[in-house]
Chain A
Amino acid sequence: MSEAQNSDPGLYDYLPYRGRPKIEWPEGKTCAVWVAPNLEFYELDPAVNPHRKSWVKPHPDVVGYSHRDHANRVSHWRMAEMMTKHGFPGSVSLSVALCDHIPEVVEDANQRGWEFFSHGIYNTRYSYGMDEAQERAIIEDSIETVQRSTGQRIRGWLAPALTHTPRTLDLLAEYGMDYTCDLYHDDQPTDVKVKSGRLTAIPYSLEVNDHYGFFIYNMSPTEYADTLIRQYNRLAEEGEQSGTVMCIPLHSYLIGQPHRIGPFEAVLEHIAGDGRAWISRAGDIVDAFRKQTGGAS
C-alpha cells in the first residue's frame, strides 16, 4: 500500500478507566446494551483482492457460502423474531448489496425499527488496497443504497470483513458518519481523532461476538449464553460508577441455528428482566454520549 504506515495510528488519547467522569444513561440505567446483527451477502465467486482471499477453499466454497446463505433463507427470521419478542431492536451491520439481492430481509429489519449502518458492499469485497476514489465510491454507494431501500441515512460503519485503509476513519467523518464500530479499545464510547467533523467509536465486541464464541473459542450454545450473561452482569455492575456499553454482535447463520436460538433466549430474558440495561440502538447511544460530552471529549 502506498500510504504512510505508522506504528501508532494516534486514534485517541490514553484515558485510564480509573477516575474517569461517569457517563449517565437515560433513566439511571448503568449499561447501554445494543444488539448488532450482521445482515450480510457473501458472493459465490467474488472478484479477487490481492491482499486477502474471500474463501479459504477454491470457489465454490459450498460449505462457507451455504452456511452464510442459511442466514437469509432461515435463521434471520428466527433471530429477528426472538429479538422482537424480548424488546431488543437491532443496529444492523449491513452488506448493502443485500438491499438489491434479498430486499425481504432488509425490509423486515426496517419494519422492526432497526437502524442500519454499512458493513461494505459485500462481505467478500475488502478495502485493502483501495485508493481514495475507490474508498469514497463504496462509502457513497453505501449511503445511497441504504437511503433508497430503507429511507434511512446511515450514521455508522463497520468495515467490510474488518478491512480498512489508514484513511477510512477520516473519510467516514468527512461524509458525516457519527460512529465507527471498528475499534475495540474500551467499554465506553470514545471520540476518534479525525481530520474533520466528529467520529465516535462505539464499543462493538470481538470477544463476545457469536463468531468468536462458536468458532474461535468453540463454545457450546449454553456456554456462549452464559458468557453473555456474565459479560452483561459485570458491565451493569461497573456501570454504576462508569456508565458502560455492551454490544452483542450476532450472525443469524450462527445464533439462529436450531440448537443455539433456544439457549440464546435466556440471555435476552436475563438482560431485559434485570432493570439496569438501557436497551438501545447504536445511534441513540452515541447521541446520549455526545449530549454529555459536548465537543470533543
Chain B
Amino acid sequence: MSLDPSYLEYPKRGRGMDHAYYPYSNLFGRKPVSWPDDKKLLIWPVISLEYFPMMPDDDPFRAPGHMQTAYPDYRHYTAREYGTRIGIYRLLDAFEKVRAKVSVATNSVMAERYPELIEDILSGGHEIIAHSTDMNGTIAGGMDEADEKALINAALTTLEEATGKRPRGWLSIARSQSFKTAKLLAEAGVEYMCDWANDELPYRFKTDAGTITNIPLNHELSDRQIINVQQHSVDSYAQQIRDAADWLLAEAESYGGRMLPMHLTPYIMGLPYRISGFEKLIASFAEHNDIGFARGDAILNSWKAQQ
C-alpha cells in the first residue's frame, strides 16, 4: 500500500519556522551584545542537582541517569547520591575558589530532603533554578496539560517556599517539553527556560501566555554528553570547552559578546579523578581578563536591558 496522499502535503512550508514560537534570526546579523565589566565571553555554569527515586517512572520516559537494574538498584541509587553528598561540594568549592557565581538547576524535592545543601548553595551567592520535582518528573509531548501544570507549579512553589524566592529559570529533565510547556512556564511566572539548544544567545520565545526568554544550554558541551555518553576523558572535555571558549572569544571581537554554557552533573564531574582537571580549566578562565562567569539571571538581566 502506498503512502497516504496527505504525506505530500506541507501546510507549514513557507517563509520562516514551521511553528510560531520564535522567528528565524541569524546570530551574526544581530545587534551586538555587551556584557557587564566589558567581558567578551560569559561562562554560564549550570549544575544539575538531581534526586533519583529508587522506583523509576517510565511515563512519559525514564530520565537519563536513572535506575537501570532490577529493584533494588543500590548501585545507581547510591552512585547518584554520591553527587549530592560529595560531588556537589567539590564543584561548589571549585567555583568559590575562582569566585564564580553559578546557576543550580534543582529538583524541588532537594529542598525538602537536603535543606542544608540548599542553604549552602544560597549562601555561596548562587542562583537556584527549577528542575522539575524529582527525576521522575519528566515532561513530553502528549502529556496531560493539567498534570504538566501541576508538576511545574509544585516544583516552583516548593522551591519558593524553601528559598524565599520564586525561581526565575527552568530546566526540564533531558530538556524535554510538550507543545504547552513554554506557555505553562510563562503562566507560572518563569522568566527564562534553558531547554532549546538552537542558539548561542538568549532569544524571545512566544507563547499564548506571553513571552518567555530561552537561554540556550548547549547539550553537546555538557559533561554528561562528553564524558558519559561519548566516553571521553576529563582532559578531552577540558580541551573541548577551551576550544569553544577560544573560538567564541575570537567571534566576540567582530560580533559582540558571546556566552558559553557549562552544564555539570555532580556525580559525573565531581569525582576525585576528574575534579582537578576541571579546577584547572576554570582557573584558566578566571585568569583571563575577557572572560567572566555569570548566573543565568544575570545574563537574562543584561541581555534584556539591551533589547
Q: Which residues of A contact B (CB under 8 A)?
A: 2, 41, 43-45, 47, 49-50, 57-60, 62-63, 65-70, 72-74, 77, 97, 100-104, 121-122, 125, 129-131, 134, 137-138, 214, 218-222, 257-263
Tell me whether A263 and B28 are in contact (CB under 8 A): no
Give the distance in Å from the alpha carbon of A66 to the alpha carbon of B244 in the complex: 19
B228 to chain A, nearest CB (A): 11
Tell me whether B247 and A73 are in contact (CB under 8 A): no
Chain B residues with CB under 8 Å of A257's CB are 218, 220-221, 244
Chain B residues with CB under 8 Å of A63's CB are 174-176, 195, 197, 219
Residues from 231 to 273 in B contacting A, C-beta threshold 8 Å: 231-232, 236, 239-241, 243-248, 260
Give the distance in Å from the alpha carbon of A227 to the alpha carbon of B106 in the complex: 40
Tell me whether B15 and A103 are in contact (CB under 8 A): yes
Tell me whether A77 and B27 are in contact (CB under 8 A): yes
Tell me whether A67 and B140 are in contact (CB under 8 A): no
The closest CB in chain A to the CB of B3 belongs to: A129
Tell me whether A59 and B141 are in contact (CB under 8 A): yes
The closest CB in chain B to the CB of A217 belongs to: B230
B65 to chain A, nearest CB (A): 15
A26 to chain B, nearest CB (A): 34
Tell me whether A60 and B141 are in contact (CB under 8 A): yes
B interface residues, how many (CB within 8 angstroms) = 60
Chain B residues with CB under 8 Å of A138's CB are 8
The closest CB in chain A to the CB of B195 belongs to: A62
Tell me whether A58 and B141 are in contact (CB under 8 A): yes
A49 to chain B, nearest CB (A): 7
The closest CB in chain B to the CB of A70 belongs to: B198
Tell me whether B199 and A58 are in contact (CB under 8 A): no
Tell me whether B175 and A218 are in contact (CB under 8 A): no
Chain B residues with CB under 8 Å of A137's CB are 8
Give the distance in Å from the alpha carbon of A68 to the alpha carbon of B199 in the complex: 10
B18-26, B68-76, B113-121, B148-156: which lies at the interface: B18-26
Give the distance in Å from the alpha carbon of A59 to the alpha carbon of B221 in the complex: 24
Tell me whether A44 and B19 are in contact (CB under 8 A): yes
Residues from 172 to 213 in B contacting A, C-beta threshold 8 Å: 172, 174-179, 195-200
15 new A-B contacts, CB < 8 A, other than A43-B12, A101-B16, A103-B15, are A57-B141, A58-B142, A59-B179, A66-B216, A67-B198, A68-B198, A70-B199, A74-B27, A97-B13, A101-B14, A134-B8, A218-B230, A218-B231, A221-B243, A257-B244
